[in-house]
Structure 1
Amino acid sequence: MKPVYIVGTCDTKAAELRYAADCVAATGVPVVLVDISTTQSDAAVDVAPAMVAAHHPRGAGAVLGLTDRGEAVTAMAEALRRFLLTRTDIGAVLGLGGGGNTAMVTAAMRALPVGVPKLMVSTMASGNVAPYVGPTDIMMMHAVADVAGLNAITRVVIGNAAHAAAGMARHAVAAASGERPAVGLTMFGVTTPAVTEIRRLLGDDWECFVFHATGTGGQCFEKLIESGLIRAALDITTTEVADLLFGGVLACTEDRFGAVIRSRIPWVGAVGAVDMVNFGGRETVPARHAARNLYVHNAQVTLMRTTPEENAATGAWIVDRVNRMQGPARLMLPLKGVSALDAPGKPFHDPVADQALFDAIRAGFAPAPNRRLIEVDAHINDQAFAEACAAAFRDIATGV
């Protein structure tokens, strides 16, 4: 049975961490107590701060002894991330603490594969937890009272968390062993017909996982690639890049496509919905965009049509990342429109802007034995485009 790793700062929370460890041990599940204190700590633990800090790229000296607490916390978070990634015996990770502890522990948790149990008892868990959870399966449990001493409240909350972590470690869920390999697809409302048809064409042979291209959705898509749970990608909807470059609210990170580059899985991508930048309600659109082509999708979502210059920049950004892919890759261009709104008679139909996108991709694309640019004389939601994507995918994903 793999142990529960209990992680926290024993210089301030030794009693609480030890109590959690005792609760886990009482269930018969082994425990590894990890101290990530950035100041002097003499607590009896299984993994001392210096052992964790030694995993920092610049060594323990870059973590311990720093006078600036913010710098020390940031450095320890990086060291803890690297430390946990070296462990092959993690049954679950349980963290306890306030703001500093939560930042350190969850940063390391986010680096672990999806499926490894992760539970954070935190005073920060009753607010916006997106910065802590990100695209992962971290469970946030509100501490209610501060993790600052054992009392009638903290004993129950910490004890419940410890038993939950012990239960997850004891009853580990076996990895899925479906007969069909997993493929991830990215989709937006305006590319739904394309993705739906691709799923129909491939569904007998592949288990399809669809991700809503909302910024977080793209991060989840790539996190599962990093975790080895998705073995190929049909990245049809790359709209998050336009939001990143031009201030939209559904932006990807600078590491978009990074998981594919690092993992070298088969990838078929397209420029779905890069004709738009997403904002909230109409009143949230910045004043500088008041004269732009805006489309109110609903009360919470307003879309802004990208210009030729913005499309060219988006195309250049995407093709730069595609050129770094060493695995089998196909980039598909739907020459008659990139979203449901980008078609004759629709509000975002703009052949000049589309041409700027396509020209930038053509100019920047670096062909290679593993990489091809495929142009399809069809709209992204046409049957012909879905069939071309499915054919390109079968060509590179055979045998996965």
Structure 2
Amino acid sequence: MSVGIIGTLDTKGEEIGFARDVIEAQGVDVHLIDVGVMGDPEIEPDTTAAAVAETAGSTLEALRGSGDRGEAMTVMGEGAAAVVQRLYEDGVLDGLLGLGGSGNTSIATSAMRALPVGVPKLMISTMASGDTEPYVGSRDVAMLYSVADIEGLNQLSRTVIANGALAMVGMVANEADVAVEDRPTIGITMFGVTTPCVQTAREWLEERGYETIVFHATGTGGQAMENLIREGIIDGVLDVTTTEWADEHVGGVLAAGPDRLDAAAETGVPQVVSTGALDMVNFGPRDSVPEEFEGRTFHVHNPQVTLMRTTPAENEAIGTIIAEKLNAATGPTALYLPLGGVSMLDVEGEDFFDSEADAALFDALRDTVDEGVELIEMDANVNDEAFALALAEKMDAYMQDADAV
């Protein structure tokens, strides 16, 4: 077994060498990947920085000559991702460890995100106590805060680096006893306010022999599901909770990007889609909501999460976008409309009950969706048992037609 260590050997050779020694002392091989562009490596790499740059279509000389550190980091990140992916496919490394400051954290985590879910990935970083979303993305990247800067070895840095190195050894040297069953896999999207629907549908599907993977519709959750659809891990999609499109359109903090809903459409994976939590846009603490939204209807979900009710105009636009996405589907697709409300908060007596806004959403979907999409309307809330079972039964029917069971 072998661990890849990725770092800037022109500035962090001592620290990376220490991590290498800790790992090798446990009987695990190490493959050093140099991504330093400014000087000669302090210790000998297995994959040189020149090779990384060339993989990205550049050279060290060009990167040094440009004087643009940001561009150099981008190029080395692209090269590192391609190098690491090739090394993994060739069986050269079983896990990837990185350590460094902001520069190498960007490069190393770019490489980590190129590896499949399940491959051990650990980044020891000065950036790990802040906003880690740009580094982790939708992959299972673990980050360990270095506490002190990674600049020289001392009692603190030795301890943190050694802990990280030993954690990586533990991950690659011990095979998890995880049962893997050859069952068709359904991806399901969920929010707190659509949990009853998802729980009912999930349990029904699992009783009929499906494996389910539930994704929290927090932006990265939707991105993760889209990636796994493209990688062939997900065989069918029960997209109960399309709320990420509300954040994408209005400007909330949990957007999944403009490609949300594309993967199933392009790959032909059967999909059953609904409008869960499209009554809300997500922000952080109440005082973080942009001033432009003052006067709107809010619901403080918890001290860290503030929800804002979508308007009829916003719902109309969101409905049109979703319908157009579904119209591009190359596989069986159904759209279910819960006319009794799209979330726990969208019922009479709750903060987000707004029949006008719901009507705008449903009308836009009806008016825009093509005949190739099955449109089913039910006089139920998204969380009603009858609605959840209808979604699950349609998903099962599509999977049976596709001979997936």
TM-score tier by shorter-chain length is 0.7 to 0.9
- What does 1:213-252 correspond to in 2, within 5 Å? 213-225=217-229, 229-252=233-256
2:114 to 107, 111, 128: 111
* 1:140 match: secondary structure: strand
- Contact in 2 for aligned 1:237/1:270 (Cα 8 Å): yes
1:170 to 173, 182, 199: 173
1:135 to 134, 138, 147: 138
Looking at structure 1, the residues matched to 342 and 178 of structure 2 have their Cα atoms a distance apart, in angstroms, of 37
Partner of residue 202, structure 1? 205
Q: CA deviation at 1:244?
A: 2.0
* 1:242 match: secondary structure: helix
- Contact in 2 for aligned 1:63/1:72 (Cα 8 Å): no
CA 1:27–1:348 in structure 2 vs 1: closer, same or farther (change >3 Å)?
Answer: closer
* 1:84 match: secondary structure: helix
Q: CA deviation at 1:309?
A: 1.2
Partner of residue 317, structure 1? 321
Partner of residue 276, structure 2? 272
* 2:274 match: secondary structure: strand
Amino acid at match of 1:8: G
Q: CA deviation at 1:366?
A: 4.0
Q: CA deviation at 1:60?
A: 4.3
Amino acid at match of 2:82: R
Greater Cα offset, 108-117 or 154-163: 154-163
- Contact in 2 for aligned 1:114/1:223 (Cα 8 Å): no
Q: CA deviation at 1:8?
A: 0.6
Whether 2:59 is the aligned partner of 1:55: answer no
Looking at structure 1, the residues matched to 172 and 102 of structure 2 have their Cα atoms a distance apart, in angstroms, of 26
Whether 2:392 is the aligned partner of 1:390: answer yes
Looking at structure 2, the residues matched to 214 and 310 of structure 1 have their Cα atoms a distance apart, in angstroms, of 19
Aligned residue-pair number: 396
* 1:33 match: secondary structure: strand
Amino acid at match of 1:381: N
Partner of residue 148, structure 1? 151
CA RMSD of aligned residues (A): 2.8
- Residues 172-192 of structure 1, C-alpha deviation per residue, up to 9 Å, x if partnerless? 336641354432222223322
TM-score normalised according to structure 1 size: 0.87
Looking at structure 1, the residues matched to 61 and 267 of structure 2 have their Cα atoms a distance apart, in angstroms, of 30
- What does 1:1-400 correspond to in 2, within 5 Å? 1=1, 3-42=2-41, 43-56=43-56, 58-60=57-59, 64-65=63-64, 66-86=66-86, 87-88=88-89, 89=91, 90-173=93-176, 176-178=179-181, 180-204=183-207, 205-225=209-229, 229-261=233-265, 264-368=268-372, 371-398=373-400, 399-400=403-404
Looking at structure 2, the residues matched to 164 and 189 of structure 1 have their Cα atoms a distance apart, in angstroms, of 33
Q: CA deviation at 1:320?
A: 3.2
CA 1:10–1:220 in structure 2 vs 1: closer, same or farther (change >3 Å)?
Answer: same
Name structure 2 gaps, 5 residues minimum: none
Looking at structure 1, the residues matched to 367 and 180 of structure 2 have their Cα atoms a distance apart, in angstroms, of 43
* 2:275 match: secondary structure: strand
TM-score normalised according to structure 2 size: 0.86
Looking at structure 2, the residues matched to 294 and 152 of structure 1 have their Cα atoms a distance apart, in angstroms, of 49
Name structure 1 gaps, 5 residues minimum: none
Q: CA deviation at 1:397?
A: 1.9
CA 1:38–1:255 in structure 2 vs 1: closer, same or farther (change >3 Å)?
Answer: farther
Looking at structure 2, the residues matched to 62 and 183 of structure 1 have their Cα atoms a distance apart, in angstroms, of 49
* 2:238 match: secondary structure: strand
* 1:237 match: secondary structure: coil
